[in-house]
Amino acid sequence: MKNTKHIDIVGAGIAGLTTALAMAERGHTVRIFEQSPALEEIGAGLQLSPNATRVFDTLGLRDDLADVWYEPDHLQLVSGLSLRTLARLPVRTMSRDRWKAPYAVIHRARLQDVLMKACRRFSSIEFEFGKRIETPMRGDADVTVGADGVWSSLRRTVRGSAEPRFSGYAAWRATMPIAELPASFSRTDVTALLGPGAHLVIYRIGSETINLVATIPEHRSEKGWNLKSDAGRLLSAFKRWHASIGIVLAKAEWRHWPIYEVADASWRGGDNTILIGDAAHAMAPHAAQGAAMAIEDSYELASWLDRTDIETATALMRFEAHRRPRIRRVGQRGLLNKFAYQAIGPFRLGRDIVFTLRGGQSLLADLDWLYGYEAG
């Protein structure tokens, strides 16, 4: 017998919208509370790996997304000092052939548009914009989902949860017209330029625009997602890199994001509150998996809540126990990437040799556990 549940979701980000869709698809009713009066055009590019795009396939969004995302040919690992290519990972063909789902890059706002439009097709999803929620609403909800991001308010109501802590890094982000990117940089690949203490990732989002993300150490720890920035600090972090990188960096208008992480701690409050996405486990973007984990969380939470053979509190407990090891493993992979990408001295030489000898296909095959994952 179907047991229709009513779900309150706090936050209409990627996690909140995906959860709403996955619950509504299964016949449940949803109310989403979003503090902003409308969805904002903040942020820029996101890489969506096959473990995330597979969820969107299952939700029937592949065609809508195919119009607005781009599938890069390769992930290129390039020395930021010499511009020598260390490895070219054939991500387009391997994603489609090996993991049966695309690897795509997309503007965050376009992804949110597609999710929002899909939500609007369900009369069982209601939105309340301009409504900030600090604690679970009293009322008829069976479950309150805290999808309210790294600065989650709901998390404060969860006993044993962790406070965000500054990672010691900031992500600097910019976009530029594709025509302004020097010819020495690929327009069809995701290029990760690796160098001492920093890395820079470049890829196109859409047909006209290039997205740039630089990750550098930072001592300051302002809160915020989209801070206007004097690029002096950024330029000085790259001053010993190849000259053409300095030219690219100087052309763009930068915003910066101090990176905060949420440590491994409780995600469940009482019998009916659960945190997902960045509210539960914000991670530094070294593995480009924060949104992907939010998307997997959303789909798997809906599967657990749809079960009619277990109580809601048990479903939430099992969801958390099921997701936690994967989130930990992805976090560890991010640390490994950071170490390899930003290696110095003998570690850098060792890294370059390993990347060159192993080749792109074999490096990608290491990620079966990550990209081949089927959220269910």
For ligand FAD, the binding residue among 84, 132, 239, 358 (CB under 6 A) is 132
Q: Any contact of residue 260 with ligand FAD (CB under 6 A)?
A: no
Least distance from ligand FAD to the Cβ atom of residue 86, Å = 20
Please give the full DSSP string across 277-331, using - where no structure is assigned.
HHHHH---GGGS-HHHHHHHHHHHHHHHHT-SSS-HHHHHHHHHHHHHHHHHHHH
Strand 143-146 and strand 273-275: the pairing is parallel
Q: Kindly tell me which of 191 and 289 has the beta carbon lying closer to ligand FAD.
A: 289
Among 8, 11, 202, 203, binds ligand FAD (CB under 6 A): 11
Interacting residue with ligand FAD among 5, 28, 173, 338 (CB under 6 A): 173
Q: Which is nearer to ligand FAD, 39 or 317 (CB)?
A: 39
Residue 144's alpha-carbon distances to 18, 131, 147, in angstroms, are: 15, 15, 9
Of 147, 136, 143, 150, the C-alpha closest to 304 is 143
CA distances 184 to 73, 192, 213, 248, Å, are 16, 14, 18, 11
We find the least distance from the C-beta atom of residue 227 to ligand FAD, in angstroms, to be 12
Q: By the 8 A CB rule, do 81 and 242 touch?
A: yes
Least separation in angstroms between residue 225's CB and ligand FAD is 7
Rounded to the nearest 5°, which phi and psi values hold at 141? -70, 135
Closest CA to 86 of 373, 333, 351: 351
Q: Which residues in the 22-51 window bind ligand FAD by CB under 6 A?
A: 33-36, 46-47
Separation between Cα atoms, residue 279 and residue 152, nearest integer Å: 5
Q: Using the rule CB under 6 A, is 257 a contact of ligand FAD?
A: yes
Count of positions on this chain that bind ligand FAD (CB under 6 A) = 34
The owner of tokens 């119009």 is 67
Closest CA to 273 of 305, 299, 236, 309: 305
The residue within the footprint of ligand FAD, chosen from 143, 213, 262, 327 (CB under 6 A), is 213
With CA atoms as reference, report the closest residue to 339 among 191, 220, 169, 219: 169
* Burial zone of 73 (CB within 10 Å; 0-12 exposed, 13-18 middle, 19+ buried): middle
Residue of 20, 55, 91, 147 that binds ligand FAD (CB under 6 A):
147
153 forms part of the interface with ligand FAD (CB under 6 A): yes
**Could you say which of 164, 277, 334, 360 contacts ligand FAD (CB under 6 A)?**
277
Cβ closest to ligand FAD, residue 226 vs residue 272 = 226
Backbone φ, ψ for residue 125 (5° rounding)? -110, 120
Question: Judged by CB, which is closer to ligand FAD: 182, or 224?
Answer: 224
User: What is the separation of C-alpha 196 from the centre of its chain, rounded to a whole number of angstroms?
Assistant: 24
Site string for ligand FAD, 288-317 (x = CB under 6 A): xxxxx-x-----------------------
| Residue of 149, 164, 331, 334 interacting with ligand FAD (CB under 6 A) | 149
71 or 348: whose CB is closer to ligand FAD? 71
d(CA 60, CA 42): 25
Residues 45-84 that bind ligand FAD (CB under 6 A): 46-47
Stretch that binds ligand FAD, among 142-150, 176-184, 266-274, 358-366 (CB under 6 A): 142-150
Site of interaction with ligand FAD (CB under 6 A) = 10-16, 33-36, 46-47, 132-133, 147-149, 153, 171, 173, 213, 257, 259, 277-279, 285, 288-292, 294
